[in-house]
């Protein structure tokens, strides 16, 4: 069971001081994202993510990641 739990949560990102500082810069220039989401964008970008999957419309503008809505169309687009 422990191995299954680890597999379901992997991969988890480690947030660095650099991510925190970059995230706060994103937060300062994007009024639609909260502080936590801004740090998430910074960490995901540093780790090479090409998209962020979220129903939160705040990710749809002002970030350098493609925003994917987790509906049937969005998920299908990720699988193609």
Please state the pTM of the whole predicted model.
Answer: 0.77
* 1 in a structural domain: no
Q: How confident is the model at residue 1 (pLDDT cuts 50, 70, 90)?
A: very low
Which residues, 6 or more positions from 33, have their beta carbon under 8 angstroms from its beta carbon?
26, 27, 41, 58, 59, 62, 63
Q: Please write the tens of the pLDDT for every residue from 23-78.
A: 999 999 988 899 999 999 999 999 998 888 899 998 988 788 999 998 999 888 88
**How many angstroms separate the CA atoms of 49 and 43, rounded?**
9
- Residue 4 domain-assigned (yes or no): no
- How many separate domains does the chain show? 1
Question: Does any domain span residue 29?
Answer: yes
List CB contacts of 27: < 8 A, sequence separation 6 or more: 33, 34, 35, 38, 39
User: Regarding beta strands 51-53 and 66-68, do their DSSP bridges make them parallel or antiparallel, or are they unpaired?
Assistant: parallel
Structure tokens given for 61: 């503008």
């Amino acid at each position: 069971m422990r191995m299954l739990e680890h597999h379901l949560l992997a991969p988890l990102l480690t947030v660095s001081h650099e991510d925190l500082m970059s995230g706060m810069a994103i937060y300062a220039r994007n009024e639609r994202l909260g502080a936590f989401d801004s740090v998430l964008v910074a960490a995901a970008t540093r780790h090479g993510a090409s998209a962020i999957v979220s129903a939160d419309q705040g990710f749809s503008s002002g970030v350098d990641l493609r925003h994917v809505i987790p509906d049937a169309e969005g998920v299908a687009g990720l699988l193609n």
